[in-house]
Structure 1
Amino acid sequence: MDWKTTMYKLNNGSKETLKNLAKEKGIVLFFYPHANTTFCTLEAKEFEKNLELIESKGYAVVGASRDLISDQQDFVDNCKLTFPLISDTEEILHKGLMVLDQDNDDAAIRSSFILDKELNVKKEMRNVEAVEHIKELIASL
Structure 2
Amino acid sequence: MLKVGDQLPEFESINQDGETVKSSDFSGKKLILFFYPKANTPGCTAEACDLNDNFSQLKKEGYQLLGVSADPVKAQKKFHEKFGFQYPLLADENKEVIEKFGVWQLKKFMGKEFMGIVRTTFIFDEKGSCTRVIEKVKTKEAAKQILETV
On whether the aligned pair clears a TM of 0.5, the verdict is yes
Q: Aligned partners of 2:65, 2:143: CA distance in 1, in Å?
A: 12
**8 Å Cα contact 1:33/1:110 also seen in 2:** yes
The corresponding residue for 2:104 is 100
Tell me how far 1:117 sits from its aligned partner.
2.8
Tell me how far 1:24 sits from its aligned partner.
5.4
The corresponding residue for 2:128 is 119
Q: Aligned partners of 2:28, 2:147: CA distance in 1, in Å?
A: 16
The corresponding residue for 1:7 is 12
Instruction: From 40, 52, 59, give the equivalent of 1:55.
Output: 59
Tell me how far 1:73 sits from its aligned partner.
0.4
SS of 1:34's partner is coil
Percent identity at matched positions? Answer: 24
Q: Aligned partners of 2:50, 2:24: CA distance in 1, in Å?
A: 24
Q: Aligned partners of 1:48, 1:9: CA distance in 2, in Å?
A: 20
**8 Å Cα contact 1:113/1:125 also seen in 2:** yes
* Alpha-carbon RMSD: 1.7
The corresponding residue for 1:19 is 24
Instruction: State the number of aligned residues.
Output: 138
Q: Deviations over 1:78-135 (max 9, x none)?
A: 1110100011111111111111222442211111110123432110011422122431
The corresponding residue for 2:32 is 28
Gaps of 5+ in 2: 1-7, 108-112
Q: Higher RCO, 1 or 2 (CA under 8 Å, sep at least 6)?
A: 2
The corresponding residue for 2:137 is 128
Letter in 1 for 2:116: A
**Any runs of at least 4 consecutive aligned residues in structure 1 with deviations exceeding 4 A, and if so which?**
none
The corresponding residue for 2:79 is 75
**8 Å Cα contact 1:26/1:116 also seen in 2:** yes
Larger Rg: 2
**8 Å Cα contact 1:47/1:134 also seen in 2:** yes
